């Protein structure tokens, strides 16, 4: 009856719940699940490729998988090509809804993806989006930073570092088909347009988070616009950006702000090639997704403050 067994009369449930309230009883979910042999099976869907942050996210999922086995939590990782909506939808459609208790994914904006997520919702499988959300789909939770605020933060850093200089800002993204990059651009351009009218944002370079493409496209942009005074990379592909700025004689006159602290961006900060990194804690995001999915199944309360993913700012002076 306390574990939601079928066939219990409403009046009996009411009497038991009244007694629970009077006694201050707190249900031991872990013990109840052990008695029922309840297991949690969660699928994480993550982009494949050379994106260092995503590889770090995958490593954090593996770490969580090892430590969660004792709590009867099974975790599997499914990888898809980055920014490929149909491929992501195919993986989601291939998940057995009778097997999986919940799904966490790094989302790409696509009609097929929304349809696949709606199928999971109809099957009562909770869905958590990681890093990037899905517009027009009400998932059970989004786990990641406030990307508009992250873009605004990047613009404030950029404008202050430039100290009143005039010129253009080169914008680099993975794709305008993912919500996190769209929102970062929105926040960045809001602050630049309002508070730094002497700066002008160029059209976004979409480098698909591929270092080679970022290097190629950014090199062409700098060659075409000699008055670029800053570069903001709102996605990945930072190895390509670092190559360009390292080889460019004017690099020390250009401010560079990027996302995610990796071994490559750490070295670039130390070398003065980059000026600031905006970071999010991948381990916190994975652990938060697991807690939220489990709480949804157990019908327990989520502590909002515990699951808030904060924007971290790193300069050469405060590297951990």
Q: Which residue has the tokens 């994914």?
A: 105
DSSP string, 24-75: T----HHHHHHHHT--EEEEEEEE-SS-HHHHHHHHHHHHHHHHHGGGTEEE
User: Whose CA is closest to 312, among 285, 269, 281, 272?
Assistant: 281
* pLDDT computed for residue 32 by the predictor: 47
CA distance 228 to 201: 9
**CATH 3.40.50.2300-classified regions of the chain:** 39-143+282-307, 147-279
- The model's pTM is 0.86
CATH superfamily of 147-279: Response regulator (3.40.50.2300)
* pLDDT computed for residue 85 by the predictor: 96
Record the tokens describing residue 205, joined without a space: 């370079």
* pLDDT computed for residue 253 by the predictor: 85
Domain 39-143+282-307 part of CATH 3.40.50.2300:
yes
Per-residue pLDDT of the chain (320 residues; tens, 9 = 90+): 455 555 567 677 677 666 666 755 555 444 444 444 468 999 999 999 999 999 999 999 999 998 887 678 999 999 999 999 999 999 999 999 999 999 999 999 999 999 999 999 999 999 999 999 998 888 999 999 999 999 999 999 999 999 999 999 999 999 999 999 999 999 999 999 999 999 999 999 999 999 999 999 999 999 999 999 999 999 999 999 999 999 876 566 899 999 999 999 999 999 999 999 999 999 999 999 999 999 999 999 999 999 999 999 999 999 99
CA 145 to each of CA 100, 230, 281: distance values in angstroms, whole numbers, following the listed order: 26, 23, 9
């Amino acid at each position: 009856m306390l574990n939601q067994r079928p066939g219990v009369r409403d009046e009996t449930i009411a009497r038991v719940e009244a007694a629970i309230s009077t006694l201050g009883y707190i249900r031991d979910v872990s013990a109840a699940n052990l008695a029922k042999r309840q297991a949690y099976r969660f699928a994480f869907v993550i982009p494949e490729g050379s994106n260092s942050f995503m590889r770090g996210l995958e490593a954090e999922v593996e770490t969580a998988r090892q430590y969660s086995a004792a709590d009867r939590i099974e975790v599997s990782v499914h990888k898809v090509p980055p920014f490929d909506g149909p491929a992501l939808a195919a993986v989601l459609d291939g998940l057995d809804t009778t097997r999986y208790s919940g799904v966490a994914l790094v989302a790409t904006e696509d009609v097929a993806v929304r349809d696949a997520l709606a199928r999971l919702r109809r099957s009562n499988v909770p869905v958590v989006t990681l890093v990037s959300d899905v517009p027009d789909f009400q998932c059970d939770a989004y786990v990641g930073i406030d990307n508009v605020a992250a873009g605004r933060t990047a613009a404030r850093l950029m404008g202050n570092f430039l100290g009143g200089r005039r010129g253009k800002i080169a914008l680099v993204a993975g794709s305008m088909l993912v919500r996190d990059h769209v929102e970062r651009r929105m926040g960045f351009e809001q602050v630049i347009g309002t508070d730094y009218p002497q700066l002008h944002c160029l059209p976004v370079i979409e480098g698909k988070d591929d270092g080679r493409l970022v290097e190629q496209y950014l090199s062409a942009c700098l060659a075409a616009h000699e008055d670029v005074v800053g570069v903001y990379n709102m996605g990945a592909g930072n190895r390509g950006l670092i190559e360009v700025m390292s080889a460019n004689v004017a690099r020390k006159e250009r401010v560079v702000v990027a996302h995610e602290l990796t071994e490559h961006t750490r070295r670039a900060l130390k070398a003065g090639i980059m000026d600031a990194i905006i970071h999010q804690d991948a381990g916190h995001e994975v652990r938060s997704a697991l807690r939220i999915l489990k709480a949804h199944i157990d019908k327990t309360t989520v502590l909002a403050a515990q699951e808030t993913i904060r924007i971290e700012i790193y300069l050469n002076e405060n590297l951990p």
